[in-house]
């Protein structure tokens, strides 16, 4: 994976020299629809000797417009940057989405960018992208303003899956429903969690199914339950087959914060402090409370059999 520059605002972006090909959007999840926009910017930049850059935002605009029902993000900023690096993007600008920024008139948006990014040569967005105060700006306005300023504007058509457009909203709904296969299809990659292994309470060990525990508390929580997974380490073997439980472990404790626990189906080379990646492949069953530990142990054994089916 190529290295990538990351700047926390338009004001601090010290970009490499060359014509700037700028893909703009929230890009939460970096799904197939987003990739159509981003890959167009990357390919055009490579052809012209330019620089491929993504302009994205944090927090989500919903925190300004409807804070009581703010959208929960699929991918935190650090993971988004990693995904974008894998697509060949050379730099990411995560600009603060504030009330002042949202008040910029649509007609003033491209001049605002041009003033801060003088090398701007082309803008890439999805065909349904809206911008400016009250979201009044659309592709027609973007094209008109681009012509006036001498900027190329590319709008990528929406990507469909099963006859419906791929969207972050659909991916969120699938993750919350445990429909991990559908989410993975729309993402274009396997939903993955990365983080350090933390010491646990050895509850899995006592059950005969030792687990790797991750300190992971996403905004958008997938459905609590048991999943088929693959586990890889940054410095050791992988990917290795396993199952994982994500939830609050109601049979053995009354946890208030969910935790991800992965049990490998082969010898485990990982331990506390190791950075691992857990790829989610298939949903097996929802999390449930069992009458006793023996019943839980028997179900885990059945889950392992189901994971190999």
- Stretch 251-267: mean pLDDT: 89
Q: CA geometry: angle at 124 spanning 188 and 101, to 5°?
A: 105
On whether the CB atoms of residues 159 and 40 are closer than 8 A, the answer is: no
pLDDT in tens, 139-176: 999 999 999 999 999 999 999 999 999 999 999 999 99
Q: How far apart are CA 160 and CA 132, in angstroms?
A: 26
pTM of the model: 0.94
pLDDT in tens, 110-136: 999 999 999 999 999 999 999 999 999
On whether the CB atoms of residues 214 and 195 are closer than 8 A, the answer is: yes
User: What pLDDT score was predicted for residue 256?
Assistant: 80
């Amino acid at each position: 994976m190529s290295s990538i520059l990351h700047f926390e605002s338009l004001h601090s972006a010290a970009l490499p020299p060359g014509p700037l090909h700028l893909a703009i959007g929230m890009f939460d999840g970096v799904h197939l629809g987003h990739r159509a926009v981003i890959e167009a910017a990357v390919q055009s930049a490579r052809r012209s000797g330019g620089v491929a850059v993504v302009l994205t935002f944090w927090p989500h605009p919903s925190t300004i417009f409807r804070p009581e029902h703010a959208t929960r993000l699929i991918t935190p900023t650090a993971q988004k940057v990693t995904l974008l690096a894998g697509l060949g993007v050379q730099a990411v600008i995560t600009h603060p989405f504030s009330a002042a920024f949202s008040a910029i008139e649509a007609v003033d948006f491209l001049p605002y960018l041009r003033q801060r990014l003088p090398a701007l040569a082309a803008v890439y967005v999805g065909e349904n992208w809206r911008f400016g105060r009250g979201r009044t700006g659309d592709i027609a306005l973007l094209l008109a303003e681009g012509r006036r300023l001498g900027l190329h504007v590319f709008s990528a058509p929406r990507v469909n899956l099963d006859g419906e457009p791929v969207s972050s909203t659909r991916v969120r709904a699938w993750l919350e429903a445990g429909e991990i296969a559908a989410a993975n299809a729309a993402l274009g990659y396997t939903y993955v969690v990365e983080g350090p292994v933390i010491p646990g309470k050895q509850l899995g060990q006592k059950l005969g199914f030792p687990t790797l525990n991750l300190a992971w508390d996403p905004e958008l929580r997938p459905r609590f339950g048991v999943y088929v997974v693959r586990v890889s380490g940054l410095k050791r073997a992988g990917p290795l087959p396993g199952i994982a439980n994500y939830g609050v472990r109601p049979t053995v404790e009354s946890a208030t914060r969910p935790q991800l626990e992965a049990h490998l189906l082969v010898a485990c080379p990982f331990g506390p402090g190791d950075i691992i990646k857990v790829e989610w492949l298939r949903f097996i069953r929802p999390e449930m409370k069992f009458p006793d530990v023996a019943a839980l142990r028997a179900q885990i054994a059945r889950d392992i059999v189901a994971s190999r089916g």
